[in-house]
């Protein structure tokens, strides 16, 4: 059976900092008051996505990769990652501040956790007035200065706070200390990893009254203590054509702002493509397949695709490939 544009069932995650925007803004179906994440496409062990549309409905992403490795992932991806889906696509709703945290690089993650590291990209979809991200330090720190800040509970005095609005885009390299602030809804594209080192959690307690575990000792060895202004991504929004955003060794992203039918050609395609709808709606036509997509939905276009027609009068997408 030929592959087609694939949708997956969202994997919804309860978080003590979660809220209602995933339902109210993106149309996710849940009743809990604390859903913080919707994993859109995941190959993470224990959280593997399941197809939600077409003849493969109910099949896992891993089953499809096993049956159609190069047709689905692309030859370059298979050569590099084998049968592992190499990225994780999420939506995150931070009703409250997330913990201050960081992620290890590939070498450290492989050594400690038999996992990929985690470099990630954020695209802000909605932000309350005054909402901020924490990204990196105000100035270079030494390990000793960092430890003193932790001991005196003054770490937040040393962090860089970044005001945000809808459309802002950031690349968070492994090792960079960061946190998503309250009032922010964003799309996240990241390496396929769930390894997080929590450094500070504002002394919050979970529903059982317990402080959440910190991983400061692990984090220190992974942390970049240098001040770096390398995180904000500048990009244009040219109508009806791709506008490049991020190009790193783990993924490439671009922005599509459309107001009419647009054709995407995939000649000699060596990678799958992911389309994340961040505004409006469209029909994705691939051969005899016609797949509707709306804001808050994510679609995996197989590497075997030669052409995709996006029929729309107004929509915006993040395009992701390797």
Q: The tokens of 284 are what?
A: 């994705």
The Cα diameter of the chain in Å comes to: 63
Cα dihedral sign, 167-96-20-7: positive
Q: Point out the residues that are catalytic.
A: 198
Cα dihedral sign, 156-157-159-163: positive
Distance CA 94, CA 180 (A): 7
Among residues 58, 50, 48, 16, the alpha carbon closest in space to that of 33 is found at 16
Helix (H, G, I), strand (E, B) or coil at 194: coil
| Bridge partner list, 239 | 257
Among residues 48, 19, 46, the alpha carbon closest in space to that of 35 is found at 19
């Amino acid at each position: 059976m030929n592959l087609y544009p694939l949708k997956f069932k969202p994997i919804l995650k309860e978080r003590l900092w979660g809220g209602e925007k995933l339902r109210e803004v993106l149309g996710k179906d849940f009743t809990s008051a604390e859903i913080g994440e919707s994993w859109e496409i995941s190959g993470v062990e224990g959280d593997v996505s399941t197809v939600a549309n077409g003849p493969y409905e109910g099949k896992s992403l891993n089953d499809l990769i096993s049956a159609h490795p190069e047709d689905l992932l692309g030859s370059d991806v298979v050569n590099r990652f084998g049968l592992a889906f190499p990225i994780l696509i999420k939506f995150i709703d931070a009703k409250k501040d997330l913990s201050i945290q960081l992620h290890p690089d590939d070498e450290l993650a492989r050594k400690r956790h038999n996992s990929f590291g985690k470099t990630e990209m954020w695209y802000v979809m909605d932000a309350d007035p005054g909402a901020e991200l924490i990204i990196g330090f105000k100035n270079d720190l030494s390990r000793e200065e960092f430890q003193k800040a932790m001991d005196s509970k003054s770490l937040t005095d040393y962090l860089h706070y970044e005001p945000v609005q809808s459309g802002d885009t950031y690349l968070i390299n492994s090792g960079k200390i960061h946190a998503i602030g309250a009032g922010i809804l964003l799309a996240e594209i990241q390496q396929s990893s769930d390894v997080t080192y929590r450094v500070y959690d504002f002394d919050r307690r979970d529903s059982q009254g317990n402080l959440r575990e910190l991983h400061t000792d692990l984090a220190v060895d992974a942390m970049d203590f240098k001040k770096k202004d390398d995180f904000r991504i500048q990009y244009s929004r040219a109508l009806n054509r791709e506008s490049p955003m991020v190009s790193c060794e783990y993924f490439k992203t671009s922005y599509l702002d459309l107001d009419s039918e647009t054709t995407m050609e995939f000649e000699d395609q060596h990678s799958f493509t992911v389309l994340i709808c961040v505004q409006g709606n469209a029909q994705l036509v691939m051969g005899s397949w016609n797949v509707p997509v709306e804001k808050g939905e994510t679609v995996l276009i197989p590497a075997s695709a030669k052409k995709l027609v996006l029929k729309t009068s107004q929509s915006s997408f993040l395009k992701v490939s390797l």
